[in-house]
Amino acid sequence: MSLIIMFSVLVTLTLSVTVTCDDVRDKRILLSDPDYVQQELHQIQVKLQEYDALKTEVTSLQSEVSSLQSDVSFLQSKVIAQDSTINELLAKTSLLESSAEKRGVVYVRWGRKDCKGNGTELVYSGFAGGSYYGHTGAAAEYVCLPPEPMWGPRKHNPSYPTALMYGSEYEDPVLFGMPNHNEEVPCAVCRSSSFSTSIMIPARTTCYPGWEEAYTGNLASGSNDHAASSEYVCVDEHPQALMGGGTTDDNGKLFYQVRTRCGSLKCPPYENDRVISCVVCLK
């Protein structure tokens, strides 16, 4: 048995040595083959070209990443700028909203003790007054005097000339619908928080588009043959009178109708000797 085993081991070693020698011999043969060498060199060149291509692609990707990073930085700066703009707009909006809450317009409603709609509140109801119609140094304006006067500390000094304040009367009982021409004129100071502008438009009974009517009525002023100057005001179309007036002819600041005179006033569109209406408008 031992001889058989020894023989088998010997055969195996012999075959192994034979195979190893054959491999070495094959490699020597291949290395001496020009075609084999050329093939190996070609594969190396292919690998190098692939490496160069990958390197180029990496460089391109790096450049693209750099460009994207630049774009991101630019967009971030724009976002910051936009945030700043939005903050400014929000601040302005807040300011405008605050201003809108505080906005309002004040106007006088002549011939009435109350205010009319349009989100309007009564500041006070008073008495129309002004200078005396026959005084040459009279002030032109009508004023709305409050019903609760408060007096300052200054006293009357007879050594100096004075300006005077009178009450007022309607001087056209037909136009103003009064029982007589001695009725005294009320007024109302009105404030609308829904609007910021008021305008009195003579010779109109309605407002222009975009404006809302506060009230409509008839244009009034002092008489043209009186010494005192005056202004034009709009007396409500449904005027009232002050309680307790009308019994005496006290005059003072007077309200007369206003009529047209053609010439320098263009007719048409105007017509001669027509009573002029008026409207007070809000926006």
For the chain, the DSSP string reads -HHHHHHHHHHHHHHHHHHHHHHHHHHHHHHT-HHHHHHHHHHHHHHHHHHHHHHHHHHHHHHHHHHHHHHHHHHHHHHHHHHHHHHHHHHHHHHHHHHHHH--EEEEEET-SS--STTEEEEEEEEEEES-TT-TT-----EEE-SS----S----TTS-----EEEEES-HHHHT-SSTTPBPEEEEEEESS-S-EEEEET-SSPPTT-EEEEEEEEEE--TTSSS----EEEESS----TT-SSS---SEEEEE-B--BTTB-TTTS-TT-B-EEEEEE-
* pTM: predicted TM-score of the whole model, two decimal places: 0.64
pLDDT at res. 5? 46
pLDDT grade for 248, boundaries at 50, 70 and 90: confident
Report percent pLDDT > 90 for the chain: 51
Tokens representing 16 are: 């192994």
Q: What is the pLDDT of residues 102-151, one digit of tens each?
A: 678 999 999 999 998 768 899 999 999 999 999 998 999 999 999 999 98
| Residue of 137 and 99 predicted with greater confidence | 137
pLDDT at res. 189? 97
pLDDT grade for 161, boundaries at 50, 70 and 90: confident
pLDDT at res. 88? 83
Q: Which of 1-15, 28-42, 204-218, 254-268 has the lowest mean pLDDT?
A: 1-15
pLDDT grade for 29, boundaries at 50, 70 and 90: low
Q: What is the pLDDT of residues 168-221, one digit of tens each?
A: 999 999 999 998 888 999 999 999 988 999 999 999 999 999 999 999 999 999
